[in-house]
Amino acid sequence: MKLRLYPLKLYFFSLPIIIMVVSSVLLNLFSWFWLKSQLPNTSELFLHYNVLYGVNYIAESWKIFFVPLIGLVILTVNFFMGWLLYKKDKFMAQILNFVAVLCQIFIIFTTFVLVFLNA
């Protein structure tokens, strides 16, 4: 049984898909640049804050970039899963790309919190 994929070019020409994918990519790029430009040049940064105990996780400064990296992984997985499902269920593909946008918004919020925690 051969898997017949929907043409990638036609997948990109769907207006809701292209809007959600482009907005997800732009939000992810913003989170990378925001972290890179706003963080101090120190060897260790605060990575987790708890209301009860305060800062409870301090690590190397490069580990802070795992947050936008996870967003990039979510974006690519949802994009390819949406592409695979687009031929059978267009609505599900749009939902997957919308979830990617929603995750990027939460990642932007997380990067803001991390920057203000380390300022």
| Beta strand residue intervals within the chain, DSSP E | 44-50, 54-60
**Residue 37: burial class (beta carbons within 10 Å; 0-12, 13-18, 19+):** exposed
What pLDDT does residue 10 have? 87
Q: Let me know: does 59 contact 92? Beta carbons within 8 Å.
A: no
Q: Decide if 1 is inside a domain.
A: no
Number of domains in the chain: 1
Q: Convert the pLDDT of each residue in 64-106 to its tens digit.
A: 899 999 999 999 999 999 999 998 999 999 999 999 999 999 9
72 three-class SS: helix
Band (42; pLDDT cuts 50, 70, 90): confident
Q: Decide if 3 is inside a domain.
A: no
Q: Convert the pLDDT of each residue in 44-68 to its tens digit.
A: 888 887 888 888 888 888 888 999 9
Mean pLDDT for the stretch of residues 7-21: 90
Q: Decide if 2 is inside a domain.
A: no
User: Which residues, in sequence order, are CB contacts of 96 under 8 Å at separation 6+?
Assistant: 78, 79, 81, 82, 85
CA distance 112 to 50: 16
Range of the domain at 109: 8-118
Residue 60, strand partner residues: 44
